[in-house]
Structure 1
Amino acid sequence: MGGARDVGWVAAGLVLAAGACYCIYRLTRGQRRGARRLGLRPSRSAEDLTNGSYDDILNAEQLQKLLYLLESTEDPVIIEKALVTLGNNAAFSANQVIIRELGGITIIGSQINNPNQSIKEKALNALNNLSVNVENQIKIKVYVNQVCEDVLSGPLNSAEQLAGLRLLTNMTVTNDHQHVLSAYVAGLFHVLLTGNGSTKVQVLKLLLNLSENPAMTDGLLGAQVDSSFLSLFDVHVAKEILVRALTLFQNIDNCFKKEGRLVPQPPFPEGSLFYLLYGDECAQKMRALVYHHDTDVKEKVTMIPKF
């Protein structure tokens, strides 16, 4: 699974992500249809574009009004509504391009530093939808360091932390921007081990992206990781976490072996992920998982070399 991804695979993945965004958008549209059936005619004012009265996707002129409103107002209620509307519209590929061309990524991105945590979350959600477009990622890249810092220092298991992790996951679907996260790998493992189930799953999705890139292998294996990481391989761990943790091990091992390096002579420090994955305790856990009740888990274990 290592190496640069096949272009077709990446394109398919981005299309699937866009489809998921579209489904989320559809869930917000029921009230709009009711207004249309009653014959209500929506206003063309910028603020009214945020009130849920429009059933159609906003056009370029409306998006421009909305971006101007977001840039000019200091009302937190209006800011949040504008971000939600922009985020919903960013679920559509045409609007991903229009918002970028109108300078919207910079306007939306400025809100990730807003002290209002709900506004920050909505801004991250909007950037996440916009990041499905590869060209948009080039502009969103400038916010990756800030998002990483916020994910590591912000409230654990919070909505804004999860929104930040989702954005980072989208930004690392390809190998283009993964190197920006190199300095944050150890911190991401800390969030993985201290977060709840939802946080663990989202961090693992992000680490899985990194683990498929051979250029990130040394950074992952050299990261200082608490020994509690091995508890992810316990037999009682939820399947959605366990399978991802096993896949992470498998990806890293594949990349490491493809470079033709010998496991007994690593250039990694004590306390690093390398010593956890290739140590005796981990090997014992792998042997125990061979007898796991779940077929998917057992299949994953058989694809990892035993020591």
Structure 2
Amino acid sequence: MLTDSSPPVSTHTMDVDALQKLIHLLQATDDPLIQEQALITLSNSAAFSVNQDIIRNLDGLSVIGGMLFNCVPKVKEKALNALNNLSMNIKNQEEIQVFITQVCGTVESAPLNSEVQLAGLRLLTNMSVTSDYHQKMINSIPCFLHLLSEGTERTQIQVLKVLVNLSANPAMTRHLLRAQVPSFVLLLDNCANRDILVRALAFAANLKKNMNDEEGTKIEEYSEDSIFFTLSRDSAPFAQRLASLLHHPDTEVKEQVVRILTQ
């Protein structure tokens, strides 16, 4: 499973009183510049595990989560970054999960390849490390695959981290196989960005494994431009790409190709 964290800018912990004042300030002000700075400071402090617990105990998660409904993109982005660092803590995830639907909506509505969209995808990466909250992301699968087709390499890498996590869960297999992304095989190219290639192959390998493990798969459930048909044995473009990638110089790429071919 893949995780993602926002790097801290500062390298010091904060005491309870200072954190409480920041959270109260966030609640009290309508000034987006002050909100942004408070969120940056909370995000940096959340890079330290001791502060993750303190912020949760001060009800900081709900206050920061409330900033996701803010209409100022920079404030929303900084709130997502703070929640991302806070989500490295399992107990925090139990509280943050109530905001997953809002985060998915933000990813869908944000400008393509924007910092807000990337921040949302980073948080969803952490929240999808376990299968506990995958069901909350089902409706956003078409959006994720659209970003895979239309996004920059940076966006593609980020959304693939989420898709790899989802594809590791057998309960998500049919939802992913039904999705349509005709351009998926184009990612499986010897000249593709290595990080994209490895993750796209891992996504395909996970789905192939779960397809084989699942009994009673009905072909009529899937449209011809679905991922199911892209990955099927009869898909010549997919088979040709895999054969070509067996000669790729990167060991991990070849390992993922072998995973798919031996399913």
Name the TM-score, length of structure 2 as normaliser. 0.93
Aligned counterparts, 1:235-246, within 5 A: 235-246=190-201
Name the TM-score, length of structure 1 as normaliser. 0.80
- Give the residue type in structure 2 aligned to 1:28: S
Aligned counterparts, 1:4-23, within 5 A: none
1:146 to 98, 102, 106: 102
What corresponds to 2:208 in structure 1?
253
What corresponds to 2:66 in structure 1?
110
Which stretch of structure 1 is more off in the superposition, 250-259 or 200-209?
A: 250-259
Deviation at 1:248, TM superposition (A): 0.7
What corresponds to 2:162 in structure 1?
206
Aligned counterparts, 1:99-138, within 5 A: 99-138=55-94
2:19 to 45, 63, 70: 63
Q: 1:235 to 1:266 in 2, by over 3 A?
A: farther
C-alpha distance in 2 between matches for 1:271 and 1:228: 10
Aligned counterparts, 1:17-96, within 5 A: 24-25=7-8, 27-29=9-11, 56-96=12-52
What corresponds to 1:273 in structure 2?
227
- Give the residue type in structure 1 aligned to 2:212: K
2:249 to 283, 293, 299: 293
What corresponds to 2:137 in structure 1?
181
Q: Indicate conservation of the 8 Å contact 2:10/2:45, yes or no.
A: no
Q: Indicate conservation of the 8 Å contact 2:118/2:155, yes or no.
A: yes
Q: 1:252 to 1:219 in 2, by over 3 A?
A: same
C-alpha distance in 1 between matches for 2:241 and 2:160: 19
RMSD: 2.0
Q: How many residues align?
A: 261
Q: Computing the radius of gyration over CA atoms, which structure comes out larger, 1 or 2?
A: 1
Deviation at 1:231, TM superposition (A): 0.4
Deviation at 1:61, TM superposition (A): 1.5
Task: Note the alpha carbon deviations across 1:126-160, whole angstroms, 9 max, x for none.
Answer: 01111111111121111111111111221111111
Residue 261 (structure 2) pairs with residue 305 (structure 1) = yes
Deviation at 1:292, TM superposition (A): 2.3
Which stretch of structure 1 is more off in the superposition, 283-292 or 239-248?
A: 283-292
Which stretch of structure 1 is more off in the superposition, 266-275 or 202-211?
A: 266-275
- Give the residue type in structure 2 aligned to 1:271: D
Q: Indicate conservation of the 8 Å contact 1:124/1:167, yes or no.
A: yes
- Give the residue type in structure 1 aligned to 2:211: F
Deviation at 1:192, TM superposition (A): 1.2
Secondary structure, aligned partner of 2:132:
coil
Q: Indicate conservation of the 8 Å contact 1:152/1:191, yes or no.
A: no
C-alpha distance in 2 between matches for 1:168 and 1:104: 19
Percent identity reads 46
Unpaired runs of at least 5, structure 1: 1-9, 30-55
Q: Indicate conservation of the 8 Å contact 2:205/2:260, yes or no.
A: yes
Which stretch of structure 1 is more off in the superposition, 156-165 or 280-289?
A: 280-289
C-alpha distance in 2 between matches for 1:180 and 1:296: 31
C-alpha distance in 2 between matches for 1:144 and 1:157: 19
Deviation at 1:102, TM superposition (A): 1.1
Deviation at 1:222, TM superposition (A): 1.0
Q: Indicate conservation of the 8 Å contact 1:250/1:304, yes or no.
A: yes
Task: Note the alpha carbon deviations across 1:214-254, whole angstroms, 9 max, x for none.
Answer: 111111111122x1111001221111111111111111111
Secondary structure, aligned partner of 2:43:
helix
C-alpha distance in 1 between matches for 2:35 and 2:253: 45
C-alpha distance in 1 between matches for 2:247 and 2:79: 45
- Give the residue type in structure 1 aligned to 2:188: F
C-alpha distance in 2 between matches for 1:101 and 1:90: 13
Secondary structure, aligned partner of 1:177:
helix
